[in-house]
Amino acid sequence: MELWIPITIAAAFLQNLRSVGQKHLKGVMGTTGATFVRFGFGMPFAILLVLGLHWFAGFPFAPINGIFLAWIVLGGLGQIAAQFLLIYLFSFRNFAVGTAYSRTEPAQAAIFGLVLLGEMAGPGALIAIAITVVGVMLISVARTPMSWRNLFASLVSRNALIGLASGTLFGVAAVAYRGASLSLGGPNFLMQAATTLAVTITFQTVVMLAWMVWSDRSQIAKIAAAWKPSLFVGFVGASASLGWFTAMTLQQAAVVKALAQIEMIFTFASSVFFFREHINRAEAAGCLLIVAGIVLLVLIG
């Protein structure tokens, strides 16, 4: 088994923990504050990791260059905008269709990987990506009366277009992060990933902080009051991001993001075993498709 596979699975698990923490914080400080926490409280851990790898592991600092910074800006802003659009979807009464389309991120990452980096996923990987995307989309509409025919017929609806835009930006961000890490050219994949994470999360923290100062300064006091749970979210968020960046340094972003759909399995496992929630047939079928796609990825990986 290649190293990127267990790293991706671990990152998906940690991201699930981060999402649970952010859901709690959203009720305390609102959407903007909960979004900032993953960056602002994750930044110190990311910077300490780079310094630790240099001081204790003896890895030299990665040489930062203009191409790297350009990828960082593209990825950092793309991720923030994608997250904003995804959260904006939740304000609509019927957001399931839009959410389903936002889950096309791995497929769109495959396209942008080819356009921006000249990387083409193999036939087996493309089939696995398609299987996981269909599985996640099925789960997203499982509790609505929407049929597959209506789902694809609704492609031009506002919700669907917002969802597609979110998936597009997530896909661009994933490819940009891989491009940033690879552009460093050394000293090794771990230091490249850690450096990419530290610079990205610092940039995103500055952008989000400036936005809060300009739009809603009251969020800052709420964040400070909830610093303990925020610290947990920042730590698991930074750990998850390190996993993503490391995996995407080792493997194409589209393939990593397809395997990352395993996060949905973790979410449903929590729902069933901890919250005793019922899963319907469509959701079960979606989970099986995700598992099938993941198995195929592991076998070819």
Per-residue pLDDT of the chain (301 residues; tens, 9 = 90+): 689 999 999 999 998 888 778 777 877 777 788 888 989 999 999 999 999 999 999 999 999 999 999 999 999 999 989 888 877 776 665 555 666 677 888 989 999 999 999 998 888 889 999 998 888 877 776 776 656 666 665 666 777 788 889 899 999 999 999 999 999 999 999 999 999 999 999 999 999 999 999 988 888 989 999 999 999 999 999 999 999 999 999 999 999 999 988 887 877 776 677 656 677 787 788 888 888 988 888 787 5
Q: For residue 145, what pLDDT is reported?
A: 67
Evaluate whether 74 touches 172 at the Cβ level (below 8 Å): yes
Q: For residue 163, what pLDDT is reported?
A: 84
Total domains present in the chain: 1
Neighbours of 111 (CB within 10 A): 16
Q: For residue 281, what pLDDT is reported?
A: 81
Q: Work out whether the CA dihedral 133, 135, 139, 141 comes out positive or negative.
A: positive
Q: For residue 150, what pLDDT is reported?
A: 61
Q: Which domain holds residue 203?
A: 4-300
Evaluate whether 43 touches 201 at the Cβ level (below 8 Å): yes
Evaluate whether 86 touches 99 at the Cβ level (below 8 Å): yes
Query: Before 187, cis peptide (omega within 30)?
Result: yes
Q: For residue 301, what pLDDT is reported?
A: 58
Q: Indicate the residue type of 147.
A: S
- Chain centroid offset of residue 251 CA: 15
Q: Give the containing element (helix H, strand E) for 76.
A: helix 66-89
- Chain centroid offset of residue 202 CA: 17
Evaluate whether 89 touches 162 at the Cβ level (below 8 Å): yes
Q: For residue 230, what pLDDT is reported?
A: 93
Evaluate whether 260 touches 105 at the Cβ level (below 8 Å): no
The burial of 123, by beta-carbon neighbours within 10 Å (0-12 exposed, 13-18 middle, 19 or more buried), is given as exposed
* Residue 133 tokens, joined: 């995307």
